[in-house]
Structure 1
């Protein structure tokens, strides 16, 4: 179906979910009593200018509630997947390898700082330094990652230390590289749009913002993602190194992410799946995602599931990078 038709159907089903009585949807409130429906809806590209409605579920039984009453023609254009719980991708234990983009290298102390390496608030295990941005009127670069990586999921204060490597990779106060400058708190009631934060680098801490696999990224950020089934993307992160995948859904609303304290819901997200297996794993949160065809950065990785990917493994969710930058009031470096 055409994207606008899919958006209309998505709006219709979203309204239906909002009106479902408590208990009618199997997954509702099953994680923490938040009332999240356990259903996310988006657009899955299938051909140039053509999409299916993406339906992502915690439990297969919820498909009947969501899709009840749809005609055969509409059901033929629905992409239903059970992805299970979605969680922020904080770090498991370190691994070993010697390649420059290997997890072992990315988990080490790295000076100058470069994209893909381990980073985190002292109270967080570790995540990934996604890249570097600039704030208008402020000299120097800011390190970009997630709220749950640099700001401990809203528990931190501006001015708190940021470590490289993160605590899970044996980072200590002696590994401080900067201070938390800004983050976007999660919405406790409505949907959030980003899980994002930035940190100012301490005096004397150097950074190489263009040191990505294959060289610097493009000096611009995509404002919108084309509905293209062959849109390949890449990222580099602390746990799985340099990986490739494809965008499997866009404009995904109702993504419920299980943080330590609660489930927070996110709208207008990007879903990515790996070409073989998963696209990311715990500790890759904060990775910047770029398009393979033109190296334009498009997303900030923040969460994922363990199932639901068509090539095995789970699916990954990312905030549109343009939304991240506008929300935090920062800009992607032009050079």
Structure 2
């Protein structure tokens, strides 16, 4: 269907969700898994899209699609994801050795974290109030909001052996995780005196200096990232403008709107510890998004889906400027 028609159908189903599924808060879930579907758009041709529906279990899809005629159902892309988790959990699979080590100067893709977090990824570099800073997620640099501005950021993260002696930056700005729909999971930490960085040291060379404002995506647009756990991986964007992405954090579920969905070209695009990675477009190396969560199911290979926030939204929220080189 035309993309405007897909947006109209998305709005209709979102309204139906609001009527049938009262918005829950993180504090009100009592540990129960979130099951409200997420809805976005899957580009299928220039100017055309299917409706993307992402559900935790099959029953949720049946409820949502009841009453839709066959013509509309043919324009709907439904995938079962299972739980969606923040990607800073330390898992058993061994990370690429070079990314988990203590490394100076700092480069994108390295293990990094708040002292109370296991390990996430240094996504890239920004300027905040004129100072060079590292960009990653709230749940990586600020411990899901439990940290405070002024706290230490370590490289490598504690899961990779980082200690107080490995301090490289100071938490400077955090996008809070709220009970209502969130737009980003992001934070920045300004580099400590004497800590050096090479922002352009990315697989394939420096990323573009311009961050696209808004995302016009071609079908199966290919993207890349470098992360602490899975290293340099390639994927394709499978949905955009995804609302209702429910992520199960330690303090409960937080919901995100206007997100980007990605699947790996071969296996998983990301795994635990890759949170905070910056995702770029393969065709022109434009930095597009900040990775923050993923599922263990879904996608053409069944290896799971990755969720990321538009980088332009991240930078605007934090008041930061992208630094490519």
TM-score by length of 1: 0.92
Q: C-alpha distance in 2, partners of 1:264/1:115?
A: 27
User: CA 1:134/1:34 → structure 2, altered by over 3 Å: closer, same or farther?
Assistant: farther
Which of residues 31, 38, 46 in structure 2 aligns to 1:48?
Answer: 46
8 A contact 1:253–1:266 mirrored in 2: yes
Equivalence for 2:14: 14
8 A contact 2:288–2:311 mirrored in 1: yes
Equivalence for 1:278: 268
8 A contact 1:17–1:37 mirrored in 2: no
Are 2:261 and 1:245 equivalent residues in the alignment? no
Q: How does 1:129-208 map to 2 (within 5 A)?
A: 129-135=122-128, 138-188=129-179, 190-208=180-198
Structure 2 unaligned segments of length 5 or more: list them: none
8 A contact 1:93–1:168 mirrored in 2: no
8 A contact 1:180–1:198 mirrored in 2: yes
Are 2:323 and 1:324 equivalent residues in the alignment? no
Equivalence for 1:264: 254
User: CA 1:280/1:35 → structure 2, altered by over 3 Å: closer, same or farther?
Assistant: closer
Q: C-alpha distance in 1, partners of 2:220/2:235?
A: 10
Equivalence for 1:76: 74
Q: C-alpha distance in 1, partners of 2:106/2:121?
A: 11
Deviation (angstroms), 1:63: 1.2
Deviation (angstroms), 1:230: 2.7
Q: How does 1:1-40 map to 2 (within 5 A)?
A: 1-20=1-20, 32=30, 36-40=34-38
Q: C-alpha distance in 2, partners of 1:170/1:261?
A: 25
Q: C-alpha distance in 2, partners of 1:30/1:279?
A: 32
Equivalence for 1:99: none
Deviation (angstroms), 1:94: 7.2
Paired positions, count: 322
Structure 1 unaligned segments of length 5 or more: list them: 23-28, 97-101
Equivalence for 2:104: 111
8 A contact 1:255–1:266 mirrored in 2: yes
1:150-185 deviation per Cα after TM superposition (whole angstroms, max 9, x unaligned): 000010000000000000000000000011000010
Cα RMSD for the two superposed structures: 1.9
Q: C-alpha distance in 1, partners of 2:71/2:193?
A: 61
Equivalence for 1:25: none
Equivalence for 1:65: 63
Secondary structure in 2 matching 1:194: coil
User: CA 1:324/1:203 → structure 2, altered by over 3 Å: closer, same or farther?
Assistant: same
8 A contact 2:168–2:191 mirrored in 1: yes
Q: C-alpha distance in 2, partners of 1:284/1:150?
A: 13
1:241-287 deviation per Cα after TM superposition (whole angstroms, max 9, x unaligned): 00000000000000000000110000000000000111000000000
TM-score by length of 2: 0.95
User: CA 1:215/1:199 → structure 2, altered by over 3 Å: closer, same or farther?
Assistant: same
Equivalence for 2:281: 291
User: CA 1:12/1:33 → structure 2, altered by over 3 Å: closer, same or farther?
Assistant: farther
Deviation (angstroms), 1:92: 2.3
Secondary structure in 2 matching 1:308: coil
Q: C-alpha distance in 2, partners of 1:21/1:219?
A: 42
Secondary structure in 1 matching 2:145: coil
